[in-house]
Amino acid sequence: MTDLKERIAAQLTAVRDRSLGYTAAEDDLLVRQHSPLMSPLVWDLAHVGNYEELWVLRAAAGITPLRPEIDDIYDAFKTPRRDRPALPFLRPTEARDYIGGVRGRVLDVLDAVDLADPDPLRRDGFVFGLVIQHEHQHDETMLATLQLAGRPGVVRDGDLPPGLSAGPEEVYVPEGEFLMGTDSLPWAYDNERPAHRVDLPAYWIDRLPVGNAAYAAFIEDGGYHDARWWTPEGWRWRQENGVFAPLFWTRDGGAWWRTRFGRPEPVPMDEPVQHVCWYEADAYARWAGKRLPTEAEWEKACGWDAAAGRARPYPWGEQDPTPELANLGHRAARPAPLGAYPGGASPYGAEQMVGDVWEWTATWFDGYPGFRAFPYREYSEVFFGKEYRVLRGGSWAADPAAVRTTFRNWDYPIRRQIFTGFRCARTASPEER
Ligand SMILES: [Fe+2]
């Protein structure tokens, strides 16, 4: 096997171990719906196997369908999450057998395939990258389900570095063009393509994500009770839902507590805030005299190397993520303290842009100029428009395989169960330029 094939095989094994680990629970937990926002866990599990069958076995290798009668059950577009408990989905043992059978054939295909084949599904192993990233993304979704279900079994005690770095509150990004998106990263999705020049005025962006202490100050300053800080839609959302703090936070006397996978604990004030929706992030930014960064501002601050005239795949450069550079891959089931990764800083000095928490941006999810859907419209294109806001950077629950400077995630502005925080930005004033 070539190096690339070995890497693909290792990643396929790693992601499947992860999925099976999250679903190593009693059947009742797996078939039950824990929130109308989420699928039953065993639906996610068989869905990743069905997706793998559709794309690797049928589309890339032309193999006869194994179980065509279940395709509709696992088509995410046919049944919204809230209605999935009523589907006749495979029960846990059958689901594990099915995805195991698919995987065995996928490994045979990998063994035989020519990764230099010009077919865009096979070239550089794109279709394998597609299913590996897809499964990791569902694993992160399963973790969100397990957080909603209050299951402590996934809390891990992996060491995270202490929050050490000192530095300015904001870093400066001078005006000028940068290259957004990519033409060259082989496993990048259609929505990250094509690379294109974007010209931005000078701006400041927070060196670090907004922390729990700063967010608590917003709450204690009456931020949730002052319509000035909120957009009209955000204010309506806040009032209708009676929200006064991030999801999973409660007030006990003078202290903030949170529930993390079912365990109550004091809110660590030195961590990035998570479980806030776009409306909350946007209101906080206004209260702080700033705004959310646009998606382009976020990406430039994360990866643009102006001296070299090119974009980096990670803020620190080309090197794959390590535990010293970013908090990814579910090592400890929480974000690392602010300032834990000075070595992971971007060329402009922004830290923790990758890992810890997804970050809301001001931008609606849409296609880049010259966008072409690949391999199917439903991956990205059907979500374009003014319904979803872009999230960037990846959380502690995201795997390195599905995180990079150009990676784009998106969700409704009301969503809070995802592992999401934010940082703020502001346009540089004329005197600051
Ligand atoms: Fe999916």
Positions of CATH 3.90.1580.10 in the chain: 156-433
Give the Å distance between the CA of 140 and the centre of ligand 1: 11
Residue span(s) of the chain under CATH 1.20.120.450 come to 2-149
How far apart, in Å, do the first and last CA atoms of the chain sit? 54
148 CA to centre of ligand 1 in angstroms: 19
Query: Domain 2-149, what architecture?
Result: Up-down Bundle (1.20)
- Distance in Å, CA 50 to ligand 1 centroid: 9
| pLDDT score of 1 more than 70 | no
Q: Which residues are annotated as a binding site?
A: 47, 81-84, 134, 138, 411, 415
pTM recorded for the entire structure: 0.97
Mean predicted lDDT score pLDDT of the chain: 96
Query: In this predicted structure, what is the pLDDT of residue 2?
Result: 83
The alpha carbon of 42 and the centre of ligand 1 are apart by a number of angstroms equal to 13
CATH number for region 156-433: 3.90.1580.10
Q: Strand, helix or coil at 68?
A: helix
Q: How far is the CA of 10 from the centre of ligand 1 (A)?
A: 21
Rounded CA separation 26/12 (Å): 25
pLDDT in tens, 242-290: 999 999 999 998 899 999 999 999 999 999 999 999 999 999 999 999 9
Q: Distance, CA 28 to ligand 1 centroid (Å)?
A: 22
Please give the distance, rounded to the nearest whole angstrom, from the Cα atom of residue 77 to the centre of ligand 1.
Answer: 10
Least confident piece of the model among 10-24, 113-127, 155-169, 172-186: 155-169
- Please give the Cα distance from 244 to 231 (Å, whole number): 16
What residues are designated binding site for Fe cation? 47, 134, 138
Arithmetic mean of pLDDT, 155-159: 84
Mean pLDDT in residue range 340-345: 97
Nearest-10 crossing angle of helices 92-112, 126-149:
160
DSSP 3-state percent helix, strand, coil across the chain (nearest 5) = 40, 15, 50
- pLDDT exceeds cutoff 90 at 414: yes
